[in-house]
Amino acid sequence: MTHHKIKHHLDDATLMAYAAGSLPEAFNLIAATHLSLCDTCRAAAEALDAVGGTLLDNKADAVEVAEDSLARTLARLDDAAPVAPTRSAPVSDGLPAPLRSYVGGDLDSIRWRPVGMGVKQAILKTSRSATARLLFIPAGAAMPDHGHNGTEMTMVLKGAFQDDDDYFARGDVEIADADVHHVPVADIHEDCICLAVTDAPLRFEGLLPRIWQKFARI
């Protein structure tokens, strides 16, 4: 079986926050899910863990931290040889391991609820600071045109989608903020299932999408 090479990764800020344990539960979930499939980001996260551990070990000799220390640390990680991951990424078309405990099983255990236009969702139980949901988008279907009041991260679990920015397939993460306005469209060849997390409601312009938004709680 040929597997998609992940091209769209977590950003440095998310990896740093994940390593520090400071992400809201929903964002921690999408980070862990991506890391379970992505050797590149998992190696970076392990490198950050190692840097953090070294800093803790040397805390007795603490000195004043320069304002550019984070940028310099990340630059050193970029220049260093890749860190070998401690475990290989699973080869599976089902739900990655971090998601299974939230769902209670694999893809066939998801309790979908229709939200209109063939789209279905399953809201996952996480802390209230951010929302996590699984989205099922029929092949070729488009999500409503929308912007963002905060940050939205969307990771493809099955199938693929495309918007004005790029094409996203299994394992890829799209990070959208207030500057991004887009219309995601599922690939015509296969239904798309995504994990989407947000820390603020999406911003819809049209009346019908705003009505749909209240029903879908997105």
Residues 59 and 128 in one domain: no
Looking at the fold, whether 127 and 153 belong to one and the same domain comes out as yes
pTM: 0.78
Reported as a single tens digit per residue, the pLDDT across 100-135 is 999 999 999 999 999 888 999 999 999 999 999 999
Domain identity same for 107 and 182: yes
185-188-193-196 Cα dihedral, nearest 10 degrees = -10
Q: In terms of domains, do 72 and 125 share one?
A: no
Residue 174 C-beta-side C-alpha neighbours within 13 Å: 26
pLDDT, residue 170, reads: 97
Using DSSP, state whether 138 is helix, strand or coil.
coil
Task: Give the amino acid at 51.
Answer: V
Residues 112 and 198 in one domain: yes
Residue 55 located in a structural domain: yes
Predicted confidence (pLDDT) per residue in 172-193, tens digit: 999 988 687 788 999 999 999 9
Inter-axis angle of helices 39-57 and 25-35, nearest 10: 120
Alpha-helix residue ranges (DSSP H) falling in the chain: 12-20, 25-35, 39-57, 69-79, 97-103, 207-216
pLDDT band at 81; cut points 50, 70, 90: very low
Report the Cα–Cα distance between both ends of the chain, in Å, rounded.
35
Which residues of 94-149 form beta strands (DSSP E)?
Answer: 113-116, 119-124, 131-137, 146-148
CATH code of the domain containing 39: 1.10.10.1320
Q: Is 59 helix (H, G, I), strand (E, B) or coil?
A: helix
Nearest by Cα to 118 from 94, 136, 99, 100: 136
**pLDDT confidence of residue 164:** 82
Domain boundary pick from 52, 79, 106: 79
Q: Which domain holds residue 39?
A: 12-79
Question: Which residue, among 142, 146, 136, 129, has the nearest Cα to 213 in the 3D structure?
Answer: 146
Total domains in the fold of the chain: 2
Tokens of 10: 């977590």
CATH number (domain holding residue 152): 2.60.120.10
Whether residue 102 is found in the same domain as residue 153: yes
Most confident of 28-37, 63-72, 147-156: 28-37
